[in-house]
Amino acid sequence: MHSLGDLDVIYIYRMNVSRARLAIALVLGLLAAPLTVSAQPKVWRIGYLTSGFREGPGSNPSLDPFSQSLRELGYVEGRNVTLEIRYAEGRTERFAALAAELVSLKVDVLVAASTPAAVAAKQATSTIPIVMLAVGEPVQVKLVDSLARPGGNVTGLSLIAPELAAKRLDLLKQALPKLSRVTVLWNSANEGMRSRFQEAQAAAQSLGVAFRSVTVQSPDDFESVFTAMTRDRPESLLVLADTVTVANRQRTIDFAARNRVPAIYEARVFVDTGGLMSYGVDFSDHYRRAAMYVDKVLKGVKPADLPVEQPTKFELVINMRTAKALGLAIPPSLLLRANQLVE
C-alpha cells in the first residue's frame, strides 16, 4: 500500500483549503444577493388629480395631510414613491386631459379628488386602480356599483352624509335667530352636488326658511352671479363645496364681506380664508384616510374588494374676526360646540 509522503499531505491540505474558501465564497455570495435587491426597492408612481392650483397660499391644502399619511405608512417621496400631481386649477373641463396624461405615465394608482376628477379618471382607464376622494354620489354617477361592493377599478371615500345639509341650516339659524331666507350657491353642472342641493332645499322647507338657488358652472360665472345677487341682497348664504366653488372661494368670501352677508360653508378651507362658519367633513382626516387606501392598493388589494368609506368625523369652525366685522354676536352655546374658533 502506498503511504503518503510529506508532499502528498501538503497537496491534500491545500486542496481542502481551496475547497473551503470556494464554499465560503459561494455562501457569502448567496447572502449578499438579497441585500442587493433590498437596497433597490420598487419606486411606486402615484398619480394625483386635483382641482387645486400649483402655486399660491392655501392653493392645495389637501396635499399636506395626504402626503404626511403616506410618509407615516412608509412611502417617502424620492426614495420609494413618486407623486405625479396634475392641477385642474378650478376648471373641470381640464380633468379629462390631465387624467389621460397620468394614465399615459402608467402610474400604479390614480388618486382623484372630487367627483369630476374621479369621473374623468374612470373614463381614462379601466385597469389602473383609482382611489377617489371627496365624491358626493359615487353610485349615482356610476363610479361604483355600490358602497359595499364597488366592483371595477374604483374605490375610496365618499361625502355621503345626508343629515349634514339640515345641520348646516340649523347652525346658521342658531347664529341668526331671525333667519327667514337663505341663498344657496352651487355648481349645477356637477352631478355629485345635486343630492346635496336637494337635501338643503328640504332642510330649508322643514325650518320654514325661504330658499333661493344660484348656480355657477365655471370661474367665468362668478362676476355676473355676484352682480345679480347684489341687486337682490341675500339675507344669508350657504355655499356648497366642489371644484369650482372651492377654487374660487376668495371671490365668494369677498362678496359676502362687502355686502355683509352671513354665510355658512361646507368646508373649513372657506373659514380659514375669511368665511364666517363651516360645518362638514373633517377633510384633513378624509385625505389622511385616502393614503391608507393607496397603501392597500399598492400592497395588492383590488379596488373591487375595498368598500367605499363614508365620513365619520365632522367639524364646526367659526371665524370670530368675520363675526365681529359683520356685527354678529355668536351665541355661547354655538361657540361651545365649535371644534375651532379662528381668532
Per-residue H/E/C for the chain:
CCCCCHHHHHHHHHHHHHHHHHHHHHHHHHHHHHHHHHCCCCCEEEEEEECCCCCCCCCCCCHHHHHHHHHHCCCCECCCEEEEEEECCCCHHHHHHHHHHHHHCCCCEEEEECHHHHHHHHHHCCCCCEEEEEECCCCCCCCCCCCCCCCCCEEEEECCCCHHHHHHHHHHHHHCCCCCEEEEEECCCCHHHHHHHHHHHHHHHHHCCEEEEEECCCHHHHHHHHHHHHHCCCCCEEECCCHHHHHCHHHHHHHHHHCCCCEEECCHHHHHCCCCEEEEECHHHHHHHHHHHHHHHHCCCCHHHCCCECCCCEEEEEEHHHHHHHCCCCCHHHHHHCCEEEC
pLDDT number for residue 35: 46
CA-wise closest residue to 172 among 261, 96, 102: 261
pLDDT number for residue 17: 47
From CA 154, how far away is CA 78, in angstroms rounded? 27
Q: Helices 249-258 and 222-231 sit at what angle, rounded to 10 degrees?
A: 20
pLDDT number for residue 21: 58
pLDDT number for residue 57: 47
pLDDT number for residue 9: 43
Burial of 108 (0-12, 13-18, 19+ CB in 10 A): middle
pLDDT number for residue 52: 86
Distances (CA, A) of 178 to 145, 181, 235, 291: 44, 9, 10, 43
CA-wise closest residue to 275 among 285, 265, 284: 265
291: how many CB neighbours lie within 10 A of its CB? 22
Strand pairing report for 277-281 and 314-319: antiparallel
> Which domains does the chain carry?
44-161+283-305 (3.40.50.2300), 163-282+314-342 (3.40.50.2300)
From CA 134, how far away is CA 49, in angstroms rounded? 12
pLDDT number for residue 192: 76
What does the pLDDT profile of the chain (343 residues) look like in tens digits? Answer: 444 455 454 444 455 545 555 555 544 555 555 544 445 679 999 999 998 888 654 456 668 899 999 999 999 999 999 999 999 998 999 999 999 999 999 999 999 999 999 999 999 999 999 999 999 889 989 999 999 999 999 999 998 776 788 899 999 999 999 999 999 999 998 887 888 899 899 999 999 999 999 999 999 999 999 999 988 889 999 999 988 999 899 999 999 999 999 999 999 999 999 999 999 999 999 999 999 999 999 999 999 999 999 998 999 999 999 999 999 999 999 999 999 999 8
CA-wise closest residue to 261 among 274, 242, 248: 274
